[in-house]
Chain A
Amino acid sequence: MPEIEIHLHVNKRKVTWRVHPGETLLEALHAHHFKGTKLICGTGDCCGCGILLDGRSINACCMLAVQANGSDVLTIEGLAHNGKLHPIQEAFAEEGAAQCGYCTPGFIMRTYAFLQEHPHPDEAEIRAALAGNICRCTGYVKPVAAVLRAAMLMEEASS
């Protein structure tokens, strides 16, 4: 199969990748060692492969890598800065908002996109925002607390 050259930014770094036409963006990320983004259902139902594409949270399993040509991709690996966790990551750790942890990158990336738009969310808004993220361990209480804490930490950091 012919390969296609694509140019994109991944976590603010410019990269050129050679991808197959049928390769999903998730597969391309894994092939280039961005393994924090998880494959769980592979059918767009669980948001476990959530990333940001040009600032919007999407599922990397149901888009082609070639479709990301020219885009800005942000993955879980891009959140920490200078060895310091992002406030959302810190909040998830402090609240213990992970059981097996496999779905956590998806929760965190969705939270990142959500808090950009709703910096002061209430609980109902958080539950609606995370409604698509499925945790097979059924941990749905602590992530809500983590998002509330993250919103607080981010506000403190920006003031």
Chain B
Amino acid sequence: MLKIGAYHSPTELTQAVSLLAGEGRTVIAGGTDLLVNPRYMVGIREVVDIRNLGLDYIREEHDWLHIGAGATMRMVARHPKIQALANGILARSAAVCGSPNIRNMATLAGNVASALPSADTPPSLLALDALVVLVGIQGERIVPLESFFVGPAKSIREREFIRELRISMDNFDSLRGGFYKIGRTSEDISMVNAATTLMIKNNTITAAHLVLGAVAPVPLRVKIAEEALLGQAPTEEAFQKAAEIVFTEVRPISDQRASAEYRRRMSKVAAMRALRQAAGLAAPGEEWRHA
């Protein structure tokens, strides 16, 4: 039994916000991280459940995709529009997050809030330039996901919770993507993962995002590699160059899943495979088929 003194289940956003302003309280949604990882419960005496705030939605409005804090990995993995966006990188990364039982409970927002560098979905979200809508007693703030992560299990979130994630659909028709996860087993968190999005016009890369997971204290956008891709034709050679930069830029650690050296080498492989998918040189997976 966990040492939790009180459970709150607010039905209004304002209620949830004022509850969270109190000392020693944290947010619970799916619970699949919070309840099994003691690091999240340090100093916590009470939990505030945000599952009854009507946030279990995924909807499109004014060219933005809004993914509510209650949307589960299963919902994200199965959403047709998310499957169609940038070769489905977000749906695919949600589809390989944990087991079917976990995906029925775990939320996408929770995967972000936990801020683990090895999480499956943040690289895809970063490659899609996602925004995070945080609510707290001071009101609401909308921040780019890129400035959200601070370190392992650390983010800029303070007595706030993620109300929703937003993704622009402006480039829905032209954005291409790639995602590749290297895991110990299909259900384990990533040893290394990579997500990318490219805009390609007249056989030239005009915009590039390349994000690596589990190779640094935070999900890592490798901007030097992105810059090296701009203006290039989407070829094996250009991708090799970018992957070499990834190899030198990552800062992996050794743990029970993999050594730092293995992660460094695999970061190159994962980046390469993701980039090939985005350029149509390799078939993107359809991981959601089993999600």
Given A24-B1, A50-B101, A62-B105: A44 and B51 interface contact (C-beta under 8 Å): no
A131 to chain B, nearest CB (A): 5
CB-CB contacts below 8 Å: B88-106 with A:
98-102, 104-105
8 Å CB contact of A22 from B2, B30, B101, B289: B2
Whole-angstrom CA separation of A34 from B101 in the bound complex: 20
Chain A contacts for B2, CB-based, 8 A: 22-24, 64
CB-CB contacts below 8 Å: B30-53 with A:
30-32, 35-36, 46-47, 49, 51
Q: CB of B142 within 8 A of chain A?
A: no
Chain B contacts for A131, CB-based, 8 A: 99-100, 185-187, 290
Q: CB of B4 within 8 A of chain A?
A: yes
Given A2-B6, A20-B1, A58-B104: A63 and B35 interface contact (C-beta under 8 Å): yes
8 Å CB contact of B1 from A2, A4, A23, A50: A23
CB-CB contacts below 8 Å: A60-77 with B:
61-64, 66-67, 69
B9 to chain A, nearest CB (A): 8
8 Å CB contact of B36 from A1, A21, A42: A42
Whole-angstrom CA separation of A80 from B51 in the bound complex: 32
Chain B contacts for A27, CB-based, 8 A: 1
Interface size class of B (residues with CB under 8 A): 20 to 34
Chain A contacts for B31, CB-based, 8 A: 62-64, 67
Whole-angstrom CA separation of A21 from B289 in the bound complex: 37
B104 and A57 contact, CB distance less than 8 A: yes
Chain B contacts for A53, CB-based, 8 A: 104
Q: CB of A56 within 8 A of chain B?
A: yes
Residue interface mask A19-38, B partner, CB < 8 A = 1 = 01111100100000000000
A110 and B1 contact, CB distance less than 8 A: no
Q: CB of B5 within 8 A of chain A?
A: yes
Q: CB of A155 within 8 A of chain B?
A: no
Q: CB of A123 within 8 A of chain B?
A: no
Residue from A50, A57, A62, A66 having most chain B Cβ neighbours under 10 A: A62
Chain A contacts for B100, CB-based, 8 A: 57, 110, 113-114, 129, 131-132
Chain B contacts for A158, CB-based, 8 A: none
Q: CB of B7 within 8 A of chain A?
A: yes
Chain A contacts for B99, CB-based, 8 A: 47, 131-133
- The number of chain A residues with a CB under 8 A from chain B is 36
8 Å CB contact of A64 from B35, B186, B289: B35
Whole-angstrom CA separation of A21 from B104 in the bound complex: 22
B1 and A22 contact, CB distance less than 8 A: yes
Chain A contacts for B9, CB-based, 8 A: 66, 69
Given A47-B99, A128-B290: A62 and B5 interface contact (C-beta under 8 Å): no
Q: CB of B28 within 8 A of chain A?
A: yes
B105 and A22 contact, CB distance less than 8 A: no
Chain B contacts for A113, CB-based, 8 A: 100
Residue interface mask A118-156, B partner, CB < 8 A = 1 = 000000010011011100000000000000000000000
What residues make up the interface of B, taking CB atoms closer than 8 Å to A?
1-7, 9, 28, 30-32, 35-36, 46-47, 49, 51, 74, 98-102, 104-105, 185-187, 289-290
21 example contacts (A-B, Cβ-Cβ < 8 A) are as follows A1-B5, A20-B4, A21-B6, A21-B7, A21-B46, A24-B1, A27-B1, A44-B36, A44-B98, A50-B101, A57-B104, A58-B104, A59-B102, A113-B100, A128-B186, A129-B100, A131-B187, A131-B290, A132-B98, A132-B100, A132-B101
3 tightest CB-CB pairs across the interface, nearest first? Answer: A132-B99, A22-B4, A128-B290
Q: Assuming A110-B100, A132-B98, what are 8 further A-B pairs, CB within 8 angstroms?
A: A1-B5, A21-B6, A22-B2, A64-B31, A66-B9, A67-B31, A69-B9, A132-B100
What residues make up the interface of A, taking CB atoms closer than 8 Å to B?
1-2, 4, 20-24, 27, 42-45, 47, 50, 53, 56-59, 61-64, 66-67, 69, 110, 113-114, 125, 128-129, 131-133
